[in-house]
Amino acid sequence: MASGGDQATSTRHKHTNRLAQERSPYLLQHAHNPVDWYPWGQEAFEKAKREDKPIFLSVGYSTCHWCHVMERESFEDEEIGNILSNNFVCIKLDREERPDVDKVYMTFVQATSGGGGWPMSVWLTPDLRPFIGGTYFPPRDQGRRPGFKTVLMRIIEQWQSNRAALESSGERIMEALKKGTTLSANPGESPPLAPDVANRCFQQLAHSYEEEYGGFRDAPKFPSPVNLMFLISYWSVNRSTSEGVEALQMAMHTLRMMALGGIHDHVAQGFHRYSTDSSWHVPHFEKMLYDQAQLAVAYITAFQVSGEQFYADVAKDILLYVSRDLSDKSGGFYSAEDADSIPASGGKEKREGAFCVWTASEVRELLPDVVEGAVGAATLADIFMHHYGVKEQGNVAPEQDPHGELQGKNVLIVRYSVELTAAHFGITVEKVNELMTSARARMAEVRKVRPRPHLDTKMLASWNGLMLSAFARVGAVLGDEALLERAVQAGGFLKEHLWDPDQQKILRSCYRGDQMEVSPPICGFLDDYAFIICGLLDLYEATFQAEWLQWAEELQTRQDLLFWDEQGGGYFCSDPSDGTVLLRLKEDQDGAEPSANSVSASNLLRLSHYTGRQEWLQKSQQLLAAFSDRLTRIPIALPEMVRALMAQHYTLQQVLMHTDGNPGSFLCQRLPVLTSMTQLDGTATAYVCQDFSCSLPITEPQELRRLLLDRTAVPEAD
């Protein structure tokens, strides 16, 4: 299968629907439901209009646990399948392929039900206007909660007897949403004051900070790299204040506790999606590419700030996982690994975390060696179980395991430091490190023969852009040529497989296999452009290969043409000319992924310095002004955009250029002033520039370091 799914194409199925012709792993998962599924597109829309039927839109993604549950319970049920097929035009949508459609209907569901999530279930009129929505529905009634079958029967009855009221209600809600989601700046409006916004953002994060284990709010706890990066940036401009010190402590403690917790895969590297408890212990086990990318950048930034090798090791650990398990030979990166898999002990039913968890007996059988010199003739298993909190009866509490899938199992979590473990068993710290490395390697070999979770081999432009940044930045900080080579390979993949040079457009996705093209292709959205541009700028700064900077400039020009709001400032998430997308939205939240507008605010600022194009600096300011109200009232919703606002205000030294003074080079053509910057005595020479003033030439690394860290103005050259 193109998706790398679990079943061979030759398997006989009782049912097969149109989704069997799709490339999306999520749609392929539903190709053999007893439901007459359509993909999102004109064929389905025309059928709904022709037969005057409501549309049932089901939205999810291939590694979504509750999407799997609803499929097993409802979409594989023959009776429910008949009800759906006979009374609705049924559409399946991969939210990762079409985030623009997902955002519109998720906005509706959140407005009408007070919550959201996936699977998302929305009922639409034939002209695509929503009138009822929700998320997961159980198949049958549960107490006061109606089951999916009951919901379907009620909607059928209401559509037949009370259709006008349904349509009118949906219309009113959509009109209210159009007004409520409009973000724009008044002519001549300036962005809000950066220090005030940054201080408020810090206070709001501090209020939600959980001191014992780090992170924000109680369970479930998400990694939230955008929060951590803001806190480090806040410290960088407030180093002498107690608030600045507190911000850094919050970020570093959270990063440390996450790395020690069960959300971090201690055997096979990488990070799981989130923790179901407040101590980062029992995760939701799926692994997402966008989390790995952002966390790698956060950890390498923590290393730069602290000098602690611990953080650099975690960053490398993440990239090791991505290189091994989420990498395609083309240079691209896959989207995700599922939370669920078949238990190694057998059975047909997948269980969450089965690939990752351990029983005490498994550990004892695998690590029987007696450790020489250890107290009480302890075995390697004894030391490992002590260090990683493994218990005979399992270390997952019942309240952390509502479905009983982890009963008797252990999720590895560092319960004791290496020093305490060494003291407990009377051996050296070096010996403990050596033993744990050996034990983890053995366990990793056992993992390899377990049934693997489903791998979503969809390669998304936006997430590949995020991962490009990660490899470039970690490689540059560590001076690791292999990581930088992998970053260049990723840049090449994006240009070869996800860039249409004829149409001058980014493509949203491609898939593993010999046929990398998608037909018909989905054109890229704002986040695809913004994240790739950011990745290309990071790649240029890591390699000084001007081709990446030149492509970033070209992509920014295309992004402006496709998505910029000339009236109100800022960027729309999708092409405003697509009539099937009912709301023209500007993403106003930095969540699991940063808002593309937040990233664009920084991209524009960086590119204005690289190219000398002042209109990009002005665009960045207009963008920030469009989000002024949000930034002023609840900056905690946009910590990445607050960082961009701070970068403009504090004129941070954040752009790195390499030039040989050749007037014909790309940079010198954009910035002729560079031709006047020459080497001293044939030695590598640096100039530190700020606010259009540059330092005297510097040839000593320590002097350059001092000047970069100095908070005073840059001394001007003669």
**Mean pLDDT value across the chain:** 92
* Residue 596 to residue 583: CA distance in whole angstroms: 17
* H helices, E strands: number in the chain: 26, 18
| Cβ atoms of residues 436 and 377 within 8 Å | no
CA distance 210 to 648: 30
DSSP-assigned letter for residue 153:
H
Q: What is the pLDDT of residue 717?
A: 46
Q: What is the pLDDT of residues 19-37, one digit of tens each?
A: 999 999 999 999 999 999 9
Give ∠ CA 576-581-583 in degrees, rounded to 5.
Answer: 75
Q: What is the DSSP letter of 60?
A: E
pLDDT of residue 519: 56
Q: Of 178-182, 206-210, 374-378, which gets the smallest average pLDDT?
A: 178-182
Q: What is the pLDDT averaged over residues 646-655?
A: 80
The domain made up of 216-338+457-650 has a fold known as: Glycosyltransferase (1.50.10)
Residue tagged 């007070």 (tokens): 114
CATH superfamily of 18-180: Glutaredoxin (3.40.30.10)
* DSSP helix/strand/coil, 57: strand
Q: Which of 64-78, 179-193, 639-653 has the highest mean pLDDT?
A: 64-78
Residues of the chain within CATH 1.50.10.10 domain(s) are: 216-338+457-650
Q: Where in the chain is the domain with CATH 3.40.30.10?
A: 18-180
The C-alpha atoms of residue 254 and residue 261 are separated, in whole angstroms, by 10
pLDDT at 277 over 90: yes
pLDDT digit string, tens, across residues 297-320: 999 999 999 999 999 999 999 999
Q: Model-level pTM greater than 0.75? A: yes
Phi, psi dihedrals of residue 111, rounded to the nearest 5°: -70, -30
- pLDDT above 80 for 661: no
Torsion of CA 580, 585, 587, 588, to 10 degrees: -150
pLDDT of 718 over the 70 cut: no
- For residue range 516-572, what is the model confidence (pLDDT) as tens digits? 555 578 999 999 999 999 999 999 999 999 999 999 999 999 999 999 999 999 999
